[in-house]
Structures are given as structure tokens and as C-alpha cells.
């Protein structure tokens, strides 16, 4: 069963917006953040209108009801991603917060001088900078899995990169720049051979394809709700229960304690131990409705729809002279992201002219400066798709690129 993007678009109020310049919005920046269906917007408003109260503390109805809605989302998230159990789901502010939680709570306890942390050369800064900071503090070493010309991981020297000195491998499942989807099986198998742990940055993958966490056998998996139809300020860290149990808290404060004395404290059980303070209650409740929406549409259907859009986009863009497209040609290894550069034209100029046409894409280094340096470019133009995008959106992108070329007097479209 395929999804109907035209019917889906009716559920997203912003997609019918006319911009101040009179152009209809063509939203192709889903890699940065997705738009929100009315059900998610309504759920957030409903909480603030009728259910607003702090959770886990009050004995009165509003507090108890808000707590129930919040914790029901935790259970729903566990089922949606086929996690080990609900206690293994930790709510954070986003992927960045989740990765930093692991670096500070697990990393500071388990990484020692001379240990090795393995990353890849195409990691988002959120999965690079926290490990740089930890390695500097602990006098540990960073090692990197290289990429091939098609931006897939080069695993030819994997046994030399992941060794007995490796304590953690932290890698992305899908590149936010090229859309390359990585098969992590060989990496995880090697991690198990040396007794290390593995963290997967699922910020791009979790919103676009079915994820079965237990089957993946990862120790940590981090993602953001706002990229999968949910509100901003909500993220999830999955961790194996026994690992989370052994981790000390990162943040201290309310709701994460069992008892407090003047000079010492004992900590609450999971998941409260790792969720200090008042959380984004409205955002988590809104995320529950985002999961409902995605469940109804079907993650397999979303993946297939994005594959169709990506194939169409690549076909259309490859007809344009002077474009360099990055990433693999294998659609089985590619998500709904297309990054490109235009010969002799800075990405920021491309983005500005497309904006005049109502087409919203992302331009720049995409928080992946080391990858840009390896590709010897300052940045790319990135169009990223989701369940509500259509072929007409891609046609609008192509029309906008034609305008860019006409303004800069570059080569016309190819004819095949």
C-alpha cells in the first residue's frame, strides 16, 4: 500500500502557506526539521489549554493525567522502535543532548587515558565535538572510519581501526549531507569482537525507515522528535538497560533523586535518574501524536515514497549541466536527501535565488565541516524529502535551478 502525499498535505497547515513574496511554500529542508501535522499541533495546544501541570509530583488530577500522557509516550516510543523496554527510553532535548549525555555519563566513567574512540569522517558535529571534548579531558585517542568515493563507509581496514583499545564506536546510520544509508552490521560485529560499545546517531534514519533497536544490537541510539513530525526540544536516547543502570547521572536536580541529604544523595531508578528537572512535557505529548501519525502512514511506505522522489530528483537534476551531485548512485543505500553544487556558483547564492521562488532548501556545510574539507568544497545545496513532498516540489526545485543558471549565465539543461 503506497501513501498519497496529496492527501497527507491536507494535514499540514503550513504547506498551504503563501510566502510574503506571493510564492507558495515548497519545503525541501526536512533534513533539518520536519513540518507538523495538525494533530500534533492540536495535542500540544490541548495540553497547555486543559492539562497543564508538572509531572511525577502532584497528587491532584491534572498532574496525574499529564504524567499518564507523558509516560504513555515512553511506552509508545519503545514499541514503535522495538526497544528493549520502556525504561530504556530516555527523553532528552534532541540528538545532540542525547549524545552529550552518553559522553558525559558513560564516557567520563568508562573512557581512560590511552583508550580509543572510533568515529567516521562524515559525522555531524553533534557526534564529533562531544567526543573531541571527552578525548581531550581523558587523554584518549580519536580514530576515523574513512569513506569511499561514493560516500559509503570504507571498511577495508576495519580490523585495524577497531581494536582491543577501542572503547566506543559512534557512527551515523544515515548521512545528513549525502543521504547515504549505511549497513552497520560489519561494524557492530567487529565492536562485539573487541568488547567495545556502539552508539548510533539515528537523527536522519529514525524518521525515514523502520528501526528495530533490539535486532540492531546497538548499545545506544539517539534521535530527535522534531525531524519526525514532532515538536522541537524533544529527543530520545535508547540505551541497553544494564548499561543505563550502571551509568551515573549527568545532570543533578529535581526528579532524578531517591533521597537527598546535605552532603550526599541517592538516585532514582531508570528512567528518572537520567531525566533531571521539568522536561518538555507538551513536546513529549505532541511527539506521541507524531508517532501515531507515522504509524498510520507506515514507515515502509514512507521509505518507498522517498525512494521514488529521490530517483525522480536524481533523474531531473542529472539533466542539468554544471551540477555535481554527491552520494551513492545505489538507491538501496540512499535516503531522501540530494546534495549538489553548481559550477562557479556559491551554494548561498543558489539558496537565496531558490528562496525567491518559494523553494526552501538548506545550503552550507550542514554541520559537517570535516566532510566538506575532504570533498574540497565550502558547502552544498541540500534538498531533503519527506512523506508530504511530491514530484511537483522537485519540479519547482528544478525550475528554480534553471533560474539560477539564467541569472549567472551558465550552461543550459542537458538533453538526453
Say if 35 falls within a structural domain.
no
Mean pLDDT of the chain: 95
In this prediction, residue 1 carries a pLDDT of 58
What is the distance between the alpha carbons of residues 373 and 365, in angstroms, rounded to a whole number?
A: 9
- The β-bridge relationship of strands 220-224 and 116-120 is unpaired
In this prediction, residue 305 carries a pLDDT of 98
Phi/psi of residue 69, nearest 5 degrees? -65, -40
- My answer on whether 261 and 333 are in the same domain is no
What is the distance between the alpha carbons of residues 203 and 175, in angstroms, rounded to a whole number?
A: 9
Average pLDDT over residues 245-260: 91
pLDDT band at 95 (very low <50, low <70, confident <90, very high): very high
Say if 207 falls within a structural domain.
yes
Say if 341 falls within a structural domain.
yes
- My answer on whether 128 and 236 are in the same domain is yes
Predicted confidence (pLDDT) per residue in 9-23, tens digit: 999 999 999 999 999
- My answer on whether 251 and 396 are in the same domain is no
Counting residues of the chain whose pLDDT is more than 70, the rounded percentage is 98
Q: Which of 295, 318, 350 is the last residue of a domain?
A: 295
Q: Is the pLDDT of residue 413 over 50?
A: no
Say if 45 falls within a structural domain.
yes
Q: Which of 261, 295, 329 is the last residue of a domain?
A: 295
What is the distance between the alpha carbons of residues 136 and 16, in angstroms, rounded to a whole number?
A: 49
Predicted confidence (pLDDT) per residue in 217-228, tens digit: 999 999 999 999
- My answer on whether 271 and 372 are in the same domain is no
- My answer on whether 392 and 278 are in the same domain is no
In this prediction, residue 301 carries a pLDDT of 98
- My answer on whether 189 and 269 are in the same domain is yes
In this prediction, residue 2 carries a pLDDT of 81
**Annotated catalytic, 367?**
yes
Say if 405 falls within a structural domain.
yes
Predicted confidence (pLDDT) per residue in 106-163, tens digit: 999 999 999 999 999 999 999 999 999 999 999 999 999 999 999 999 999 999 999 9
CATH (domain of 15): 3.90.1150.10
Q: Is the pLDDT of residue 415 over 50?
A: no
- My answer on whether 11 and 105 are in the same domain is no
Q: Is the pLDDT of residue 313 over 50?
A: yes
CATH (domain of 168): 3.40.640.10
Q: Which of 295, 313, 329 is the last residue of a domain?
A: 295
- My answer on whether 321 and 240 are in the same domain is no
In this prediction, residue 84 carries a pLDDT of 86
Residue 237 to residues 171, 172, 225, 313, 389, Cα–Cα distance (Å): 14, 14, 11, 33, 28
Predicted confidence (pLDDT) per residue in 46-85, tens digit: 999 999 999 998 999 999 999 999 999 999 999 999 998 9
- My answer on whether 69 and 18 are in the same domain is no
Map residue 100 onto helix, strand or coil: helix
Of 207, 367, 368, 381, which residue is the catalytic one? 367
- My answer on whether 288 and 303 are in the same domain is no
For 262-289, give the DSSP string: SS-EEEPPTTGGG--S---HHHHHHHHH
Predicted confidence (pLDDT) per residue in 356-411, tens digit: 999 999 999 999 999 999 999 999 999 999 999 999 999 999 999 999 999 998 54
Q: Is the pLDDT of residue 262 over 80?
A: yes
Average pLDDT over residues 327-337: 95
Say if 82 falls within a structural domain.
yes
Say if 187 falls within a structural domain.
yes
- Judged by average pLDDT, the poorest of 60-64, 71-75, 255-259, 323-327 is 255-259
Q: Which structural domain range is residue 167 located in? A: 40-295
Number of separate domains in the chain: 2
Say if 401 falls within a structural domain.
yes
In this prediction, residue 410 carries a pLDDT of 56
In this prediction, residue 15 carries a pLDDT of 98
Map residue 361 onto helix, strand or coil: coil
Average pLDDT over residues 321-337: 95
CA 192, 193, 196, 200 torsion: positive or negative? negative
- My answer on whether 347 and 270 are in the same domain is no
- My answer on whether 320 and 345 are in the same domain is yes
Predicted confidence (pLDDT) per residue in 148-197, tens digit: 999 999 999 999 999 999 999 999 999 999 999 999 999 999 999 999 99
Average pLDDT over residues 31-36: 98
In this prediction, residue 348 carries a pLDDT of 96
Amino acid at each position: 500500500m503506497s501513501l498519497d502525499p496529496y492527501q497527507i498535505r491536507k494535514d499540514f497547515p503550513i504547506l498551504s502557506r503563501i510566502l510574503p513574496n506571493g510564492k507558495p511554500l515548497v519545503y525541501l529542508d526536512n533534513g533539518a526539521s520536519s513540518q507538523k501535522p495538525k494533530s500534533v499541533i492540536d495535542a500540544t495546544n490541548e495540553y497547555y489549554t486543559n492539562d497543564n501541570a508538572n509531572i511525577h509530583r502532584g497528587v491532584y488530577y491534572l498532574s496525574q493525567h499529564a504524567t499518564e500522557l507523558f509516560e504513555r509516550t515512553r511506552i509508545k516510543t519503545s514499541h514503535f522502535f522495538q526497544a528493549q523496554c520502556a525504561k530504556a527510553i530516555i527523553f532528552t532535548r534532541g540528538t545532540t543532548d542525547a549524545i552529550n549525555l552518553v559522553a558525559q555519563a558513560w564516557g567520563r566513567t568508562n573512557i581512560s587515558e590511552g583508550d580509543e574512540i572510533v568515529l567516521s569522517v562524515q559525522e555531524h558535529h553533534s557526534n564529533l565535538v562531544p567526543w573531541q571534548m571527552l578525548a581531550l579531558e581523558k587523554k584518549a585517542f580519536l580514530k576515523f572510519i574513512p569513506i569511499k568515493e561514493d560516500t559509503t563507509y570504507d571498511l577495508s581496514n576495519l580490523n585495524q581501526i577497531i581494536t582491543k583499545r577501542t572503547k566506543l564506536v559512534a557512527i551515523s546510520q544515515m548521512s545528513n549531507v549525502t543521504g547515504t544509508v549505511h549497513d552497520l552490521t560489519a561494524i557492530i560485529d567487529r565492536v562485539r569482537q573487541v568488547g567495545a560499545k556502539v552508539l548510533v546517531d539515528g537523527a536522519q534514519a529514525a524518521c525515514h525507515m523502520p528501526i528495530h533497536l533490539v535486532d540492531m544490537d546497538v548499545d545506544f541510539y539517539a534521535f530527535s522528535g522534531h525531524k519526525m513530525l514532532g515538536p522541537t526540544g524533544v529527543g530520545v536516547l535508547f540505551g541497553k538497560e544494564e548499561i543505563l543502570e550502571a551509568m551515573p547521572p549527568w545532570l543533578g536536580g529535581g526528579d532524578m533523586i531517591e533521597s537527598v541529604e546535605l552532603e550526599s544523595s541517592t538516585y532514582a531508578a531508570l528512567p528518572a535518574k537520567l531525566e533531571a528537572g521539568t522536561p518538555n512535557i507538551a513536546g513529549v505529548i505532541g511527539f506521541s501524536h507524531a508517532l501515531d501519525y507515522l504509524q498510520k502512514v507506515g514507515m515502509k511506505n514512507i521509505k518507498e515514497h522517498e525512494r521514488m522522489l529521490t530517483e525522480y530528483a536524481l533523474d531531473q537534476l542529472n539533466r542539468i549541466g554544471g551540477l555535481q551531485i554527491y552520494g551513492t548512485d545505489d538507491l538501496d543505500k540512499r535516503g531522501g536527501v540530494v546534495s549538489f553544487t553548481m559550477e562557479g556558483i556559491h551554494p548561498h547564492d543558489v539558496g537565496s535565488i531558490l528562496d525567491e521562488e518559494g523553494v526552501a532548501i538548506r545550503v552550507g556545510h550542514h554541520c559537517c565541516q570535516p566532510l566538506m574539507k575532504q570533498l574540497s568544497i565550502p558547502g552544498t545545496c541540500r534538498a531533503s524529502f519527506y512523506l508530504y513532498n511530491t514530484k511537483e516540489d522537485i519540479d519547482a526545485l528544478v525550475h528554480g535551478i534553471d533560474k539560477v543558471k539564467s541569472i549567472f549565465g551558465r550552461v543550459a539543461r542537458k538533453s538526453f
